[in-house]
Structure 1
Amino acid sequence: MSNTISFLSGKAEARFILAVCGNVSKGNWSLLSHTGITNLFTTSNVTQILLKLSADTTLSWSFYNWAHSLPHYRHSLEPNWTMVHLLTKDRKFIQARQLLEKFALKSLLSSPLVLGPLLNKFPSTNSQVLCWLVMYYARSSYKDALEVFYVMKSAKIRPDLHACSALLSSLAKEVLSDTAWKVFDDMRQLGVVPNTYIYNSMLHVYFMSGKADSAQRLVTEMDAKQVPLSIFSYNILIALYSKKKLHYEALCLQERMKKEGISPDIVTYNSLILGYCKEGRIREALRLFEEIKRFGLKPTQVTYTTLIDGYCRANDPDNAIRLMREMERKEGIKPGLVTYNAVIRKLCELQKMKGVNDMLNEMDERGLKPDSWTCNTLINAYCKRGEVGMAFKVRERMVESGLRLDAFTYMAFVNGFCKTRQLDQAREQLFEMTHAGFIPNYSTWSWLVDGYCTQNNPGAVLMIPDELAKGGRVDCKPLYRTLIRRLCKNGFVDHAQKLLDQMLAKGLPGDGLVYTVLAFAYLREGQTSAATETLNEMVVKNLEISRKIYISVSSSYADQSDLLMFLWAHASEKGLISKKVCRLIENLQKNQAPL
């Protein structure tokens, strides 16, 4: 007998399938395990055997698992898909779902090219299996979940509410509010009638994207369709309104909850308290705290930590520490790392380093290890005090603890070295920052450029782009723009011009902001002809002064309004300012005119 089924005729294969089914029914597994028989199994005849045995799903399942154990055979997509549907049809949902999840990822089931042809095989169970696929993919890959959903839409298969909720929740995590709304609309077109849970998923989408107006429109729709709001609905809305500083609207929702017989829970109050504490409005937050106790709710670590942070934001670290002691003494709630971080941040801001060390010692006694946030706060504090050596010790401990340095860490060191006039070290930190994959912002480069200019060494600034370019570490155009702007700000317009020439020689075009700042710098230095020439270059290059450029330059040189007005008038004559920006300038002039 041959090792492959391909040598069997159609009739022989049919007899083989019937013989296997008969032996499976009788439990003759030892007979089937003969090498001459096991070598005849293919995914095609295994699928047919599964279907022949499907009157008793237990037999199909036993054969499926037995075949899977064979050394020279592996189930492909066809028998896997068949077995899932047979189990589903027999309402063995747990086994079916577990099996589906085992092969879904490696079989690329989310692909329409793979999934589409499978839909004709088991139409009665497609809906359930596809819903499981959506839920499975939604846990790790919203894109795959979307692919399956749109296969369902093309086949006019209505997803169940669990699949809808899972997909919308995955889109919420990715802050894809527009995509979520389209999916929500498509679901309704397929006949899905949203319930409270589905609406809650959409409210979560709008919470993650900070769209309070959209959330309110959704609530209006829920009211119109008489879909009740749950405690989760209210809590997520209150959290959203509090985040957006819409305190009145948040409190109105709290009142509506009470009228509808839904008692606010600790999550409700925590959201309201957080909104006030973020603005340093500790009195309003404490009023809500008293309300919590009056209604018999138990404050959580989140409640206390939020209030402690609120005291810190209100520049009251003493009461923050008092409440920290109270939470443990009265409620038995130990402060967590976030609690300590809030207090340490404020003590660092106030340069109360003894208090900081006390907190760090207390953390150590409790077995709480500083995280990146703690370390960055300490590094920043030491750098601001000019104690860069102490900051480096914290950095060493960070690395030893396996914590990664982030952009904030590098920025703190750049700032610290610039404050102590150690500019070469500051530059090294900046280069190290770019090498680590972080992009320094305008302020970070400004500290270094301002430092060199203070030391009357603008030539050092001219060398920065080429030094960075050696390692291919940074996008040169934004860097040139930043360096030129700061040199102009510090009165080194000739060096700024050299940088622009260097930039152009490398094939990097200057933009409207660079030329506008350069023209103003020439005017400020009394070089009117050079300013005019710069504006003429803008005309030749078809550059214009946009609203954004106008606001940026006006803000940077607000103390030189007369000179700015001369620049805007000169630029307007050359057609460099659009009518829209001209109207903006006129309106601002009217508002600033003396009464």
Structure 2
Amino acid sequence: MELFLLNQKHTLAILRTHERYNFITSLLNPASKFSFRCLQTIETSQNPYKEPFSSATNLPDSLLVEKIAFNLKHGNVNSLLSYQLRLNPSVIVDVLCRCNGDLQLGQRFIDSLVLKGTNFKHSSVSLSAMIHVFVRSRRLSDAQALILRMIRRSGVSRVEVVEALVSSTCGNCGTNNLVFDLLIRTYVQARKLREGTEAFRILRSKAYFVSINACNSLLGGLVKIGWIELAWEVHREVVKSGIELNVYTLNIMVNALCKDGKFGDVKSFLSEMEGNGVYADMVTCNTLIGAYCREGLLEEAFEIMNSMADKGLKPSLFTYNAIINGLCKKGRYARAKEILIEMLNVGLSPDTTTYNTLLVESCRRDNLSEAEQIFGEMLRQGVAPDLVSFSSLIAVFSRSRHLDQALVYFRDMKKFGLVPDNVTYTVLMHGYCRNGNVLEALKIRDEMLEQGCVLDVVAYNTILNGLCKEKMLTAADNLFNEMLERGALPDFYTFTTLIHGHCQDGNMTKALSLFGMMTQRNVKPDIVAYNTLIDGFCKVGEMEKASELWDGMISRKIFPNHITYGILINAYCSVGHVSEAFRLWDVMIEKGIKPTLVTCNTVIKGYCRSGDSSKADEFLGRMIAKGVAPDHISYNTLINGLLREDNTDKAFLWINKMEKDGLLPDIITYNVVMNGFCRQGRMQEAELVLRKMIEKGINPDRSTYTALINGHVTQDNLNEAFRFHDEMLQRGFVPDDVEQGMKFMGQRERGQNPSFEWKRPPSRVDARGEEASAADPSGRPGSIVLRN
């Protein structure tokens, strides 16, 4: 019996050995139909989840594919995990092909085994095989994720991507042209427009079909980023390939024509599309109307709008909003309001955009009552205001110095459930700074930070500008440091504001340090920055440093403008270097730079200061001949120069000319003439000028009395000097400080002859081209100084 059992076990062992041999040989011959049957026999005779022989790591790829396929068919998902480490792109492709078109098996394989391998490196072919499975299973988002993964692989060309997708359509995996559509769309969504165009051309060269929807996606993406020429190239290829166009294609290409400003080609293109059976729709009309309005071509916009009825179309809310916006941009606010009424009459309800367009325009015009009227109408119509609405109102009331009302709208905004943003806070801070209330602006800044808003460069620049205007430069420097610490990058305006502030304060060392920091941070200075620095050094009398900056500016290929020349010409005149000023004037004219009135006045002053009023006279004549209209400063400067050289007759000729040109003599003109007579001791004529001045309704000022007092003192006519002094005090004019008045009274009581002289400040032209004080030395600015 024992011998029988032993022989039976031996026989069974031999049979099992032969079964394994037959199984292995059958696997080495994939054509054999025995393989799966043999495998099934063995697996059913043992534990289905236990490896019957060698571990998975030692299996050849062909055997691994068979085992994975078998487990998939029998739902043995858990056993698949043991094969994960052995997967490679070739195995994945073979397994998906062995699924024999069974999409459920393919998805099960990808979901349970392939996608769980996070560190697995796919090839374009393996990714492509999975993409086809997902597309055929209508799992388009998953397919697109894999396409995105494929096109982002480094070193993979468009040709390789397309070849992979094409090759995966062979055999049992099936084909679907939707894969190619999805490829083009993915390139567009990934903003790889050039690559998408290349892929489209490769597909067309291989005669693969690309739908019009995918083509439209590519065309729309190209037009959106402004690659109009390339869009037209693709459009021509689409037409040439015979792909049927639709109205979306038409609208995309009409938008391309509008973006390119080729409005003249629109009609011919529409006619061409109509020949292909594609007709303009509402979107086409609105696209054209919006483009025409943006370009200010309102007549053309109205023509399209009026023709819509012939096409069976009705203007929409978008249509009316575009027209209203176009009219407001052209300053035709009244007509825009008429369109609003027309819009209401045809039964269309205006939206927030409609009212905001009108509100912004009324605020731009600083029309407070109109802005409030529009806002009120907006509320009555049940249209909810947004941040733009409130920010516009806050801005206009802040600008108009009605900060109380601006704060009312700021609080009302919160009642509407709106949270102020950076723009709103910045607008309010600008209002406070504009009104000189920087401390309140800083409180708004603190609230802004408490609300979680991040101050951007515009917000910082707003406060910095306010601090510099109020000469709070230490606070400005601290805020600038805070700006750097918070990671806000200073821009050109930041540096220019601080440089101008320190230049105005005379701190040129700090200004120059900021200029250096500006260049180190690759913020390129422009002509305004250089003008500011040159003006600052001119004001402190450092003409050599100003010249160095001039040379440095030109070396950077930044060339001086009329303001730059004006600053230096004025500065050289002020320090008595008149010849250098005239040299610069000649250079400016040679360069073809048209001088401003301020610069012309500076030249007149230069001639007069050099004692050559005849040339100043000649220059003013040439200036008028060339169409540069002189102002009061021009005439007064020349008249003063002529009178200083005792050329009274010529001076009065210019006064008459001044009156003929519609410029009535002002207080400075009368003071100049009076001062001239007083210097010559012609006190009767001086008093006649005084009476004429009063008859003309011009009240004498402190300069007037100073000239008369000095004139009478010079003539030893103290009684008249005291009389005018008393009249001066009665009119409320006193010397610049109490001490001067006390000295005068003390000298009068001691019987001494006091006299006054006029101390004039140097006029200057600042970096913005504005004359900071009158060029005339007898004008209002200045001070009375007692001569001992």
Residues in 2 aligned to 1:589 and 1:5: alpha-carbon distance in whole angstroms: 100
**Is 2:467–2:473's contact at 8 Å kept on the other side of the alignment?**
yes
* Pairwise CA distance, 1:231: 0.8
Structure 1 residues 491 and 247 mapped into 2: Cα distance closer, same or farther (>3 Å)?
farther
Is 1:79 aligned to residue 129 of structure 2? no
Is 1:296 aligned to residue 347 of structure 2? yes
Residues in 2 aligned to 1:518 and 1:333: alpha-carbon distance in whole angstroms: 51
Is 1:274 aligned to residue 322 of structure 2? no
TM-score between the two structures when normalised by the length of structure 1: 0.77
Aligned counterpart for 1:436 among listed residues 459, 469, 488: 488
Residues in 2 aligned to 1:399 and 1:326: alpha-carbon distance in whole angstroms: 34
User: Which residue in 1 is equivalent to 2:69?
Assistant: 21
Residues in 1 aligned to 2:129 and 2:176: alpha-carbon distance in whole angstroms: 11
Structure 1 residues 412 and 181 mapped into 2: Cα distance closer, same or farther (>3 Å)?
farther
**Is 1:317–1:346's contact at 8 Å kept on the other side of the alignment?**
yes
**Is 2:132–2:179's contact at 8 Å kept on the other side of the alignment?**
yes
Residues in 2 aligned to 1:496 and 1:79: alpha-carbon distance in whole angstroms: 75
Residues in 2 aligned to 1:168 and 1:409: alpha-carbon distance in whole angstroms: 39
- Cα deviations by residue, 1:529-580 (Å, 9 ceiling, x for unpaired): 75799999x9xxxxxx999x85xx537x35435999xxxxxxxxxxxxxxxx
Is 1:251 aligned to residue 302 of structure 2? yes
Structure 1 residues 470 and 453 mapped into 2: Cα distance closer, same or farther (>3 Å)?
closer
**Is 1:515–1:535's contact at 8 Å kept on the other side of the alignment?**
no
Residues in 2 aligned to 1:516 and 1:280: alpha-carbon distance in whole angstroms: 31
Structure 1 residues 191 and 535 mapped into 2: Cα distance closer, same or farther (>3 Å)?
farther
User: Which residue in 2 is equivalent to 1:579?
Assistant: none
Aligned pairs for 1:333-352 within 5 A: 333-352=383-402
Give the secondary-structure state (helix, strand or coil) at the position aligned to 1:554: coil
**Is 1:433–1:440's contact at 8 Å kept on the other side of the alignment?**
no
Aligned counterpart for 1:240 among listed residues 270, 279, 291: 291
* Pairwise CA distance, 1:112: 1.8
* Pairwise CA distance, 1:510: 4.0
Structure 1 residues 328 and 535 mapped into 2: Cα distance closer, same or farther (>3 Å)?
closer
Residues in 2 aligned to 1:528 and 1:334: alpha-carbon distance in whole angstroms: 65
Give the secondary-structure state (helix, strand or coil) at the position aligned to 1:297: coil
Residues in 2 aligned to 1:87 and 1:69: alpha-carbon distance in whole angstroms: 13
**Is 2:499–2:515's contact at 8 Å kept on the other side of the alignment?**
no
Give the secondary-structure state (helix, strand or coil) at the position aligned to 2:555: coil
Structure 1 residues 562 and 349 mapped into 2: Cα distance closer, same or farther (>3 Å)?
closer
Aligned counterpart for 1:318 among listed residues 334, 357, 369: 369
Aligned pairs for 1:535-574 within 5 A: 554=594, 557-560=596-599
User: Which residue in 2 is equivalent to 1:170?
Assistant: 221
Residues in 2 aligned to 1:349 and 1:72: alpha-carbon distance in whole angstroms: 59
* Pairwise CA distance, 1:528: 7.0
Structure 1 residues 398 and 39 mapped into 2: Cα distance closer, same or farther (>3 Å)?
closer
* Pairwise CA distance, 1:249: 1.2
Structure 1 residues 255 and 86 mapped into 2: Cα distance closer, same or farther (>3 Å)?
same
**Is 1:348–1:378's contact at 8 Å kept on the other side of the alignment?**
yes
User: Which residue in 2 is equivalent to 1:486?
Assistant: 532
Q: Which moved more, 1:128-137 or 1:358-367?
A: 128-137
Structure 1 residues 387 and 532 mapped into 2: Cα distance closer, same or farther (>3 Å)?
closer
- Cα deviations by residue, 1:301-351 (Å, 9 ceiling, x for unpaired): 22222233333334433333233333333x332222222122222212222
Structure 1 residues 16 and 403 mapped into 2: Cα distance closer, same or farther (>3 Å)?
closer
Give the secondary-structure state (helix, strand or coil) at the position aligned to 1:402: coil
Give the secondary-structure state (helix, strand or coil) at the position aligned to 2:453: coil
Aligned pairs for 1:496-575 within 5 A: 497-498=544-545, 501=548, 509-511=555-557, 513-514=559-560, 522-524=568-570, 525=572, 527=577, 554=594, 557-560=596-599
Q: Which runs of 5+ in 1 are unaligned?
A: 539-544, 565-587
Give the secondary-structure state (helix, strand or coil) at the position aligned to 2:436: coil
Residues in 2 aligned to 1:472 and 1:171: alpha-carbon distance in whole angstroms: 37
Write the letter of the residue equivalent to 1:29: N
Q: Which moved more, 1:424-433 or 1:281-290?
A: 424-433
Aligned counterpart for 2:444 among listed residues 372, 394, 398: 394
Larger radius of gyration: 2
Aligned counterpart for 1:50 among listed residues 71, 91, 96: 96
Is 1:416 aligned to residue 466 of structure 2? yes
- Cα deviations by residue, 1:423-466 (Å, 9 ceiling, x for unpaired): 4444555666677213124xx666555555555x2xx2344343
User: Which residue in 2 is equivalent to 1:353?
Assistant: 403
Is 1:365 aligned to residue 415 of structure 2? yes
**Is 2:247–2:279's contact at 8 Å kept on the other side of the alignment?**
yes
Give the secondary-structure state (helix, strand or coil) at the position aligned to 2:312: coil
Is 1:464 aligned to residue 511 of structure 2? yes
Write the letter of the residue equivalent to 1:108: I
Residues in 2 aligned to 1:252 and 1:72: alpha-carbon distance in whole angstroms: 60
* Pairwise CA distance, 1:353: 1.6
User: Which residue in 2 is equivalent to 1:149?
Assistant: 197
TM-score between the two structures when normalised by the length of structure 2: 0.60
**Is 1:308–1:339's contact at 8 Å kept on the other side of the alignment?**
yes
Structure 1 residues 187 and 499 mapped into 2: Cα distance closer, same or farther (>3 Å)?
farther
**Is 1:153–1:190's contact at 8 Å kept on the other side of the alignment?**
no
Residues in 2 aligned to 1:76 and 1:397: alpha-carbon distance in whole angstroms: 53
User: Which residue in 2 is equivalent to 1:221?
Assistant: 269
Q: Which runs of 5+ in 2 are unaligned?
A: 1-52, 604-622, 630-788
Residues in 2 aligned to 1:531 and 1:191: alpha-carbon distance in whole angstroms: 73
Residues in 2 aligned to 1:450 and 1:101: alpha-carbon distance in whole angstroms: 55
Is 1:375 aligned to residue 420 of structure 2? no
Structure 1 residues 289 and 72 mapped into 2: Cα distance closer, same or farther (>3 Å)?
closer
User: Which residue in 2 is equivalent to 1:103?
Assistant: 146
Write the letter of the residue equivalent to 1:21: A
Residues in 2 aligned to 1:490 and 1:469: alpha-carbon distance in whole angstroms: 16
Q: Which moved more, 1:316-325 or 1:233-242?
A: 316-325
Structure 1 residues 181 and 203 mapped into 2: Cα distance closer, same or farther (>3 Å)?
same
User: Which residue in 2 is equivalent to 1:576?
Assistant: none
**Is 2:398–2:428's contact at 8 Å kept on the other side of the alignment?**
yes
Structure 1 residues 384 and 302 mapped into 2: Cα distance closer, same or farther (>3 Å)?
same
Residues in 2 aligned to 1:593 and 1:316: alpha-carbon distance in whole angstroms: 33
Q: When the two structures are aligned, how many residues end up with a matched partner?
A: 538
Residues in 2 aligned to 1:105 and 1:53: alpha-carbon distance in whole angstroms: 25
**Is 1:238–1:268's contact at 8 Å kept on the other side of the alignment?**
yes
* Pairwise CA distance, 1:380: 0.8
**Is 1:112–1:151's contact at 8 Å kept on the other side of the alignment?**
no
User: Which residue in 2 is equivalent to 1:571?
Assistant: none
Structure 1 residues 298 and 309 mapped into 2: Cα distance closer, same or farther (>3 Å)?
same
* Pairwise CA distance, 1:413: 1.9
**Is 1:234–1:253's contact at 8 Å kept on the other side of the alignment?**
yes
The percentage of aligned residue pairs carrying the same residue is 20
**Is 2:422–2:454's contact at 8 Å kept on the other side of the alignment?**
yes
* Pairwise CA distance, 1:492: 1.1
- Cα deviations by residue, 1:120-141 (Å, 9 ceiling, x for unpaired): 41468475323213323433x3
**Is 1:171–1:205's contact at 8 Å kept on the other side of the alignment?**
no
Residues in 1 aligned to 2:433 and 2:442: alpha-carbon distance in whole angstroms: 9
User: Which residue in 1 is equivalent to 2:356?
Assistant: 305
User: Which residue in 2 is equivalent to 1:581?
Assistant: none
Give the secondary-structure state (helix, strand or coil) at the position aligned to 2:441: helix
Is 1:128 aligned to residue 173 of structure 2? no
Residues in 2 aligned to 1:589 and 1:164: alpha-carbon distance in whole angstroms: 65
* Pairwise CA distance, 1:591: 8.4
User: Which residue in 1 is equivalent to 2:725?
Assistant: none
Structure 1 residues 46 and 411 mapped into 2: Cα distance closer, same or farther (>3 Å)?
closer
Q: Which moved more, 1:338-347 or 1:496-505?
A: 496-505
